[in-house]
Amino acid sequence: MNCNRVALNGYAWTVTGFDFERARSPEAKRARQDAILVAASRLATANGVREVTASAIADEVGMHKSAMLRYFETREDIFLQLATGAWDEWSAAVRADLEGLTDHSGAGRPDWDRNAHEIAAVIARSLVSRPLFCDLLAHTPLNLERNVSLERVREFKTHALAAVAEISSTLCTITPLRFDEAHRVVATATSMAGAMWQMAAPGTRLRDFYESEPELAHAVVDVEPQLTDILRALLTGYAARSWQ
């Protein structure tokens, strides 16, 4: 049996190269699951989540689809597992970036526009630099949560909500925002990143078409600067309320 390590969502996943007989130990089952996740991530990064079928993932791994679905409930379950790991990885990374900024929690009005832009830019950049995460953010509420068991939904939501709370707490330490306001900033950032990423359609024929037709120039979405501007406005508005 040949084994190698593949980086996925900031973690090292073990991928095994061998004929996929049914796993009979927890370790073997975990290895099969990791290989499936790596294959799904690779395909989704190249083609987009919506284009990747369960059969394509099984072919990429070298398994029959029915055998692959012994390890995950459905195709959507595979991508929901990827989304769970992506939330954990993004939370740790963006909190580290935010903690590296100067504490702006006591900043007054004269400096706040600059400070708000800096914070907004950090959050926007951290999302745009993770294209698969942005893609998954849009698909999660649309279909990934709708074709898995409620227990799977509970596991995913627990991770995602914990990540939002962690980032919100970090925001509260460097801004004058209350926790509920910081929470809405993070929720807005992730929901807008998912939606805008779909509208931007990077790397697709649709994007090429928009860019080649002058009368469709308004349809071209540049996610990072637009998301930064939205988050800056939200941060500025919440901060202004705290000074009233």
- Say which residue the tokens 């702006």 belong to: 104
Q: Which residue has the higher pLDDT, 202 or 177?
A: 177
> Among all chains, which residue has been given the structure tokens 């900031």?
10
Query: Was domain 76-242 assigned CATH 1.10.357.10?
Result: yes
DSSP β-ladder status, 11-17 and 2-8: antiparallel
- pLDDT tens by residue, 142-154: 999 999 999 999 9
Report the pLDDT value the prediction gives residue 199, as an integer from 0 to 100: 86
Alpha carbon distance 234, 112 (integer Å): 12
So what's the pLDDT on residue 8?
53
Calpha distance 119→162 (Å, rounded): 21
> For the chain, which residues make up each domain, given as ranges?
2-72, 76-242
pLDDT tier at 7 (50, 70, 90 boundaries)?
A: very low
Bridge partner residues of 157 (DSSP): none
| 52-91 pLDDT tens trace | 999 999 999 999 999 998 999 999 999 999 999 999 999 9
Dist CA 134 CA 128 (whole Å) = 7
For residue 101, give every residue at least 6 positions away whose Cβ sits within 8 Å of its Cβ, in sequence order, or none.
118, 119, 122, 174
Please answer whether residues 152 and 144 qualify as being in contact, where contact means their C-beta atoms are separated by less than 8 angstroms: no
pTM score, whole prediction: 0.83
Question: How far apart, in Å, do the first and last CA atoms of the chain sit?
Answer: 66
